[in-house]
Amino acid sequence: MHDGLCIPEILAQIFANIHDNDDLAQVALTCKTLSEPARDELYRHLPNLAYLFMGLPDEIWENENTRTTFRRMMLPSDWQICRRNMHRVQSLELMDPNRSFGDDIDDPGSNGTARTVEHEMLAAISHYSGLPLLPNLRTLLVEGEMCPLPSLQLLMGPQLEELSFDNVPFKAMPVLIQAGRMASLKSLSLTMYLYSGGDIRLLDAVLLEAIPAMRSLECLSLDRCRSPLLLEALASLPCLHTLELSMWDERDGYPEPLEELVFPQLRKLSIPKPFRLHPATYIRMLQKMRSSVGLTSLETGIDAPEPELDSFIRALTTSSPDTVMRNLEMTCYYPGSLDFSFFRPLFTFQHLTRFLLMTSTLTINDDRLAALSLAWPHLRDLTIRLPFTGWHPGHKVTLRGLAMLLHNCPELREINILVDTTFANNSSTNIPMQGAPFNTRITSITLGDSPIDNAYFVASWLSRMMPRLRNNTWWRTHQSEEEWEVAHPKWVRVNELLGRRPYP
């Protein structure tokens, strides 16, 4: 064997690129030099706890369909066998054994059968005398109502950095309190199953007890948030830089924070469109949330009439310094035709690199798109989608507007926008034949259900402006069957023409 294969760092890199667990298991049986690093990689990420017990004698466990169950209780000698690999586990997923699974994509050696573990196997962990069970575990994902709490607590070792509860019942809240006392925890994601019994207000009370102890927490995602006191507790965390909240409450009577909330290190804030929160109350809450270092990413949304929508847009402009914001994602469903001039106050974010807008009917033309491109010359990703209406007469962006966008934003890599590509509305927009192309970065573009009548004209124009373009994505929204049958073959032809060209 080559001397280089005796270097642990080289072996670790080699085994990290072997994605078939059967191959890793075979390598682990070859020789002592390869056995340990191969086992380290084999057990580094467990898609299910059952894999930790597969090294035990067949008399202990059995597989029936996709279930792994115990035939007898674990003995101390059995735990000694498992202990050989417990220290290798760094990532673990605990899934609900009652849910249906497809192929186990994390285990190519499973032949498409996703193994799940029964409650009896998890309950056996409670009899394990050594603590913690997985001393080097760093990531734990718990999904569904799947295990008794004593078992779950034994899995949370001193190195745990990332903890995710996905659709768990209220009875798991004591574990959350324990997690709050862990100095190593850096990321927490929590989604509660509301219909498992319990009061949503109790969740806020548990969080208020747990969060002040999470001094090292950097990323937090909460699926339910009702109490302004909880927001004040989050603002006191010194290391929190990423926060995702879902606001839930009745449309009236939501108590507001008493004072301005200043987050010392917050960089990324995601507050999706509130489910049952009055728009005016939501706007006032946004106005009171500040970051000492300035937000670089903001994701939010609102359903509101014109006056409140205008206040919402202006509240966003005060959420971060003009030179800091890089990513802005918005969802605005307005009851009526929404003019793009509403978003002009956002042009103060001069260094924006990504802008995503999901809205209803939007009125926009070439000149307004050109104004956007001049305000945000560093854009790399632009998405303006109308998922419920699709193309409509008020959306008057043509190839001329697209040309100005490409010219003013030379760093663009992703474009998702509706464009009128019909020859009649672009006859005065000549195909550029002289000089360098506007963009050599874009290889794929999304034009949705944009109208088209001449595939050769569109393909020629796009290929001249974006010589590396090879694909356009389109779909049917509200087109009639006749319109779709006419437009679909033309977009297929555009892709055929684009795909035939060699790269420059």
Query: Would you state the pLDDT for residue 107?
Result: 41
Residue 75: count of CB within 10 angstroms of its CB: 11
Residue 461 domain-assigned (yes or no)? yes
Q: Are 66 and 51 in contact (CB under 8 A)?
A: no
Q: Is residue 74 part of a domain?
A: no
Q: What is the pLDDT of residue 445?
A: 93
Calpha distance 46→319 (Å, rounded): 41
Closest CA to 142 of 103, 181, 178: 178
Q: What is the pLDDT of residues 373-405, one digit of tens each?
A: 999 999 999 999 887 777 877 788 999 999 999
Does 349 map to a domain? Answer: yes
Q: What is the reported pLDDT for 383?
A: 94
The answer to whether residue 159 sits within a structural domain is no
Q: Where are the beta strands (DSSP E) in 254-412?
A: 261-263, 268-271, 289-291, 297-302, 327-332, 338-339, 354-359, 362-365, 381-385, 395-396
- Tell me which residue has tokens 């290929």: 463
Are 412 and 405 in contact by the 8 Å Cβ rule? The answer is yes
User: What residues contact residue 457 under an 8 Å CB cut-off, 6+ apart?
Assistant: 421, 423, 426, 431
> Strand 139-143 and strand 91-94: pairing?
parallel
Which single residue is written with the structure tokens 């804030």? 269
Q: What is the pLDDT of residue 106?
A: 40
Token pair in block for residue 442 = 């874009």
59 vs 72: CA distance, rounded Å: 8
Q: What is the CATH number of the domain that holds 453?
A: 3.80.10
Two structure tokens written together for 192: 């509660």
- Let me know if 496 is exposed, middle or buried by CB neighbors in 10 A (0-12, 13-18, 19+): exposed
Pull the structure tokens for residue 419.
Answer: 């464009």
Amino acid present at 409: C
Per-residue tokens: 26: 């075979």
Angle at 92 between CA 91 and CA 94, to 5 degrees: 160
What stretches of 369-418 adopt beta strand conformation (E)? 381-385, 395-396, 414-416
Q: Where are the beta strands (DSSP E) in 216-372?
A: 219-225, 242-247, 261-263, 268-271, 289-291, 297-302, 327-332, 338-339, 354-359, 362-365
Q: Which two tokens stand for residue 404?
A: 């100005």
User: Strand pairing partners for 396?
Assistant: 365
Place of tokens 């005060």: 318
Total of domains in the chain: 2
Residue 11 lies in a domain: yes
pLDDT in tens, 288-316: 888 888 899 999 888 877 778 888 888 88
Distances (CA, A) of 39 to 6, 26, 54, 68: 15, 10, 13, 22
Residue 395, SS3 per DSSP: strand
CA 151/CA 49 separation, integer angstroms: 11
Six-digit token string for 239: 């290391």
CA-wise closest residue to 121 among 62, 207, 161, 42: 62
Q: pTM, whole model, 2 decimals? A: 0.81
Tokens of 470: 């090879």
Q: Give the residues across from 302 on adjacent strands.
A: 332
State residue 226's pLDDT score: 67
Query: Residue 330: inside a domain, yes or no?
Result: no
Q: Which of 24, 42, 60 is the last residue of a domain?
A: 42
CA of residue 433 relative to chain centroid, distance? 41
Domain that holds residue 26: 1-42
How far apart are the C-alpha atoms of 434 and 399, rounded to whole Å?
17
Amino acid at 281: T
Phi, psi of 316 (to 5 degrees): -65, -35
Are the beta carbons of 192 and 168 closer than 8 angstroms? yes
Q: How far apart are CA 118 and CA 69, in angstroms?
A: 6
Is residue 269 within 8 Å of residue 295, measured between CB atoms? yes
DSSP string, 189-227: EEEE-GGGSS-HHHHHHHHHHHGGG-TT--EEEEEEE--
Establish if 2 belongs to a structural domain.
yes
Two structure tokens written together for 383: 């998405």
Classify residue 378: in a domain, yes or no. Answer: yes
Phi-psi region of 220 (alpha: psi -120 to 50; beta: other; left: phi over 0): beta
Residues, the chain: 504
Q: Calculate Rg over the CA atoms of the chain.
A: 28
Q: In which residue ranges of the chain is pLDDT below 50?
A: 100-115, 250-253, 433, 502-504
